[in-house]
């Protein structure tokens, strides 16, 4: 007997490939969820990984950095917040790729 698979409809769940502390330090929502303003996770509410290895929902960290009092520092470690230019964790991106406007603000 031969089995030929014609079609396969699979189901998969995605998650951000992040270290274990999977809560955004600002909104306290899980990374897999959205920031407090967004409706849809994923593409519309991406994460931003800082050079200090703290990551946040992009919208969360932006609105933080916009505030005067933040002095553009990471809210977790008080180091100046810089977006990590390369994706350190994503498996497929081994070559350093520079996002066009990855610097904050």
91 binds another protein (CB under 8 A): yes
86 binds another protein (CB under 8 A): yes
CB of 23 to another protein, least distance (A): 12
Decide: residue 102, CB within 10 A, 0-12 exposed, 13-18 middle, 19+ buried. Answer: middle
Figure out which of the listed residues 28, 44, 66, 77 binds another protein, where binding follows CB under 8 A. Answer: 44
Closest by CA position to 14, among listed 46, 48, 56 = 46
Figure out which of the listed residues 20, 68, 69, 95 binds another protein, where binding follows CB under 8 A. Answer: 95
Asked if 25 contacts 54 with a C-beta cutoff of 8 angstroms, the reply is: yes
Is 38 strand, coil or helix?
A: coil
Figure out which of the listed residues 24, 26, 35, 48 binds another protein, where binding follows CB under 8 A. Answer: 48
26 binds another protein (CB under 8 A): no
d(CA 44, CA 46): 6
CB of 105 to another protein, least distance (A): 11
CB of 26 to another protein, least distance (A): 15
């Amino acid at each position: 007997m031969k089995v030929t698979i014609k079609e396969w409809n699979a189901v998969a769940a995605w998650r951000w490939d992040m270290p274990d502390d999977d809560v955004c330090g600002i909104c306290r929502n899980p990374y897999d969820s959205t920031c407090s303003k967004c409706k849809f996770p994923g593409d519309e509410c991406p994460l931003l990984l800082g050079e200090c290895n703290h990551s946040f929902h992009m919208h969360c960290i932006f609105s933080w950095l916009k505030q005067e009092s933040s002095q553009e520092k990471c809210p977790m470690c008080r180091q100046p917040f810089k977006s990590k230019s390369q994706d350190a964790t994503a498996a497929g991106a081994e070559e350093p790729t520079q996002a066009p406007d990855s610097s904050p603000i």
